Amino acid sequence: MACAAIASVALTTTAFAGGFQRGTADTDILYESGPVSMRTGLIYVNPMRGFDSINGQSGDFGDYAQAYNIPTYAVGFGGENFGCAGTYIISFAAESDYTGSPGGALPPGPTAQSRTLVNEFDSNEFGMTCRASYTSDMGRFSLLGGVFAEDFNFEGSSASFVPTGRSTPPSLGSLPIFLPVQTTVDTRGDYEFGYRIGAAFEKPEIALRAQVLYRSEVTHNTFTGTGTVAASGDAFVFGPGGQQVVIPNAVPPVGTPLAVGTSGFNEVTSPQSLYVNGQTGIAEGTLLLASFRWTDWSTNKSAISSITTGGVTRSSVSPYNWRDGYTVSIGIGRAFTDEIAGAVSIGYDRGVSTGSETTYTDLYTVAGGVSFKANKWSEIRVGGLVGYWTDGAQSISDGAYFNGTVGDDVVLAGNASIKLNF
């Protein structure tokens, strides 16, 4: 069936999934017929999510969820009965910019005066997955298994103020002078190992393929990093009404490092997941496509970043308390000619947010893609996605450290890839 190669044209555009999920290793290359296949691609996602209100203050604070790219690489080799694939993907990541919030940062936490400015983390995954197959009159049965290595990298900055140890003259009340500072951390986690295991069944006569693939969780608990505290504004004192009164040129200028130390992170778990997908021919040149993913996001309780300077450790806590995520997708693929095929799909991603934070609410998506196969050794795919993100709220009573709401938002995504057979 000419459209057998388009099963992932629409479904790969759903790489935007609940939680911090970014990309999934391209193990589909294990099913390519050539002795050697290579596929490389890029997925672009723009999650246009911003707060409608923060601690009761409404306004247009801009989108804190930042657009991102997901590069993907896969090389497969083998034959009818055995094959392996080497893959690279950014498995988990997030990037948030809160400088559009009131006062230029998120509200301070309950036990600290620091206010989050920017956070960013990512995990790079390098994997090797193999397929062992047996063909009978019924079809081809395959067992899948492999290992992968994943790291963890975090960068963040926050705003706060520190006492300078100085005071105004007695004639001005001997008020203590404070200095605004920005704390920046860069924390790196070693590569840790996980595994994949699964099974598949194929019946080429009707373009049938059904696959189940489990990805183990990975625990990161070994970190090294650096942290810097630098002056970020003019010194000030607190006036009678609690307002800040600036004292220009009282202390070192903006950007002056005040302290350098080490940074760390609490134990991080990349969640386990189970992925089930399938395709089957339902008419000449037409495929039915479907997928389901469960991700164990309930392991993500909180993220704690710390910095140690002068023997004193300060921490910043971000609560999550997520629930498990479920993502489903169903679509239709159609071969228009021997060279051109297309696919469309609809999807639903159950939100993982429970009220401690409110980014990842329910998401409904429509995706589509086109495949162009000019010859036997190359194929180009392009696709796009539009998603509708439902509104949500977080509250101190549900574990958040400030109250906030988000409205109905839009997600846009696109992808392109090229495959070469040798």
Contacts of 251 (CB under 8 A, 6+ apart): 164, 166, 177, 179, 231, 235
pLDDT at 345: 94
pLDDT at 50: 96
Total domains, the chain: 1
pLDDT at 396: 95
Task: Give the tens place of pLDDT for each residue, 345-355.
Answer: 999 999 999 99
Residue 231 lies in a domain: no
Residue 339 lies in a domain: yes
For residue 293 the two structure tokens come to 């993913």
pLDDT at residue 96 greater than cutoff 90: yes
Residue 104 lies in a domain: no
CATH assignment at residue 281: 2.40.160.60
Mean pLDDT of the chain: 91
pLDDT at 18: 65
What percentage of residues in the chain have a pLDDT greater than 70?
95
Task: Give the tens place of pLDDT for each residue, 361-392.
Answer: 999 999 999 999 888 889 999 999 999 999 99
For residue 354 the two structure tokens come to 């429970």
DSSP symbols for 30-86: GG-SSSEEEEEEEEEEEEE--EEEETTEES-----BPPEEEEEEEEEEE-SSEEEEE
Residue 110 lies in a domain: no
Residue 331 lies in a domain: yes
Residue 187 lies in a domain: no
Residue 13 lies in a domain: yes
Contact 142, 201 (CB under 8 A): yes
Residue 115 lies in a domain: no
409 against 252, higher pLDDT: 409
Question: What average pLDDT score do residues 332-354 get?
Answer: 94
Question: What average pLDDT score do residues 218-233 get?
Answer: 94
pLDDT at 49: 95
Task: Give the tens place of pLDDT for each residue, 247-279.
Answer: 877 678 888 899 999 999 999 999 999 999 999
pLDDT at residue 10 greater than cutoff 70: no
Q: Report CA torsion sign: 67, 389, 42, 384.
A: negative
Q: What domain range includes position 370? A: 2-94+122-149+195-221+267-421
